[in-house]
Amino acid sequence: MREISDDELRKILEEHNRWLNTDGEEGSCANLSYCNLSSTDLLHDAKLCEVDLHGADLRGTDLRGTDFFRADLQDAKLNEADLRGAKLYGADLHGTDLRGTDREGVEGLASYLQPEQLEYYRVKLPEWLDRCLFDTLGAFYWRAPEAASKSLEFSTDKLKGYLGTYFPRSYAESFSIFSNIFSKQFIKDRFIKKGEISIMDLGSGTGGNLIGLLETIDNNIDEQIDIKIVSIDGNEDALCFQEEILNTFRKRTDKKIIFKKEQRVIEKHSDIVNIANKLDEEKFDIIITFKCLSELAIYNLPEFRKIYSIFPEIASGIMSEFSFLIILDVTTLLKEIGNIKYFVPTVLNKQINSFESKNNFLKTIIPKPCFAYASKCDLTNNLCFTQQQFKVNHSRKANDISKVTYRVLVTEKVYKSLNLRVDNNVTYITKWKFDGRDKQSDYRCFYSKETDKEEDSFKL
Ligand SMILES: C[S@@+](CC[C@H](N)C(=O)[O-])C[C@H]1O[C@@H](n2cnc3c(N)ncnc32)[C@H](O)[C@@H]1O
């Protein structure tokens, strides 16, 4: 972060105004990237059109009436800033942190740039993790379609490619999903009061989604709590990488981490049951499985044909009374029968609906309309393709896109406290398509009408 005195800033702003008033003939366009501007009061009503404010610290700054026309505010921190009456036409707000800002009367925030949406699906890898992956562990960017289908057999070399590509994506997905969940104060309060969070991750691999969850807990809960983790995967090398990353995280947090890693290859249904039985002294508050069940399903063994029904059934037996189950997977083709193509999302939704129609212990809260319609959908042949896109930024790749499908299921204690309402006058979008910076609806929930009020089904 660059420190800048008020005198310097005054001069830069004068030069910038000259540049604006002479159409670029005199003066110079201000570059305030990575400047600490959090304590200045020179910026309200300022003309910051086209200014480079990339990564600047504007936390709590008085920005009333400031004109940011086409300014670069990427990754800038504006938390708690006063933006009343500010103009943001054409400003680049990718990765901008706008939490807690006062935005009364702000102009030029196009709907697709709503900060809530940006905060939700765009994530930057924290620096400590970026360094750990790329400098310490030798990760590299490597896109390979098989990375999410045959990773059980991955060698150390391939795992380094996984670490540089798919780990950050899983991190981002998990970080976004749990940031959304932990935005509810009563959920945080519950875990603070309990003094611990107990987590199980099946198919945890190198640990992308686990670390995403831990970082979210650390960012959202200041109190000292214990975090107990049971991490299960068949690939021993992947688990070793995971432990190394976890040990780096451990040094940065005041939370007590109790980590148990279980190297197990799942070959049949009873292997999952046995894992659960062995763990039944423990009830988990959070169970996660990211991009693992499709790897089991892809082998098409009779055991795993109904894996998305079987897994929640088994998980429900080892969940605490206030507990979350997140099943996330890829959106690729799973199988083709005749001329019907079955993609992972449609199979996942069909099987979880079937589970929910027979089980009273867990209910889906994300995607939101499933809360009302999951059992009803079980009676139909709808092929429901739900998908969310996430973007992750790290030192080796900007805006790397990940497309996944997921369901968040919770116990009664959680959904009753949430008081979730599915609104008949809202169109719940279950898949978005992106066109440059714009975001448009592609599919909506079969049961929601077309209205002019669209909502992201994946947001709580
Ligand atoms: C695509 S990776 C996902 C890893 C991690 N959850 C993530 O999102 O980055 C799938 C993981 O499932 C594990 N896996 C696949 N089949 C398995 C099996 N039959 N038994 C145990 N683990 C398995 C692989 O070793 C791999 O680590």
Per-domain boundaries in the chain: 1-109, 123-456
In this structure, what are the phi and psi dihedrals at residue 102, rounded to the nearest 5 degrees? -90, 110
Question: 260 and 281 in contact (C-beta within 8 Å)?
Answer: no
155-189 core/surface letters (b: 16 or more CB in 10 A; e: else):
eeebbbbbbbbbbbbbbbbbbbbbbbbbbeeebbe
Q: What are 346-373's pLDDT values in tens digits?
A: 999 999 999 999 988 999 999 999 999 9
123-456, CATH topology level? Rossmann fold (3.40.50)
> 3-state class of 441 per DSSP?
strand
Q: Ligand 1 pocket test: which of 142, 143, 152 has the largest number of ligand atoms within 8 Å of its C-beta?
A: 152
Distance 251 CA to ligand 1 centre (A): 26
Pairing of strands 256-263, 226-233: parallel
Could you tell me the distance, in angstroms and rounded to a whole number, from the CA of residue 161 to the centre of ligand 1?
15
Distance 60 CA to ligand 1 centre (A): 43
Nearest residue (CA) to ligand 1, atom 19: 266
DSSP labels for 228-270? EEEEEES-HHHHHHHHHHHHHHHHH-SSEEEEEEEE----SHH
Task: Give the global pTM.
Answer: 0.77
Token pair belonging to 11: 């001069």
- The CATH number corresponding to 1-109 among 2.102.10.10, 3.30.450.40, 3.30.70.260, 2.160.20.80 equals 2.160.20.80
Q: Which residues line ligand 1 (CB under 6 A)?
A: 148, 151-152, 166-167, 170, 203-205, 208-209, 233-235, 238, 265-266, 290-292, 295-296
Distance, in Å, from the CA atom of 382 to the CA atom of 443, rounded to the nearest integer, reads 13
Give distance in angstroms: CA of 154 to centre of ligand 1. 10
Summarised one tens digit per residue, pLDDT across range 189-209 is 999 999 999 999 999 999 999
Give the Cα separation of 212 and 214 in Å (integer). Answer: 6
Low-confidence ranges of the chain (pLDDT < 50): 111-119, 435-438
Tell me what pLDDT residue 399 has: 65
pLDDT for 103 equals 87
Q: Centre a 10 Å sphere on the Cβ of residue 86 and count the other Cβ atoms it contains.
A: 28
At 21 the pLDDT is 83
- Nearest-CA residue for ligand 1 atom 24 is 152
**Residue 235 CA, closest ligand 1 atom number:** 25
Q: How far is the CA of 205 from the centre of ligand 1 (A)?
A: 5
How many angstroms is it from 241 CA to the middle of ligand 1? Answer: 13
User: Is the peptide bond preceding residue 367 cis, with omega within 30 degrees of 0?
Assistant: yes
Q: What is the pLDDT of residue 281?
A: 63
Q: What is the pLDDT of residue 440?
A: 60
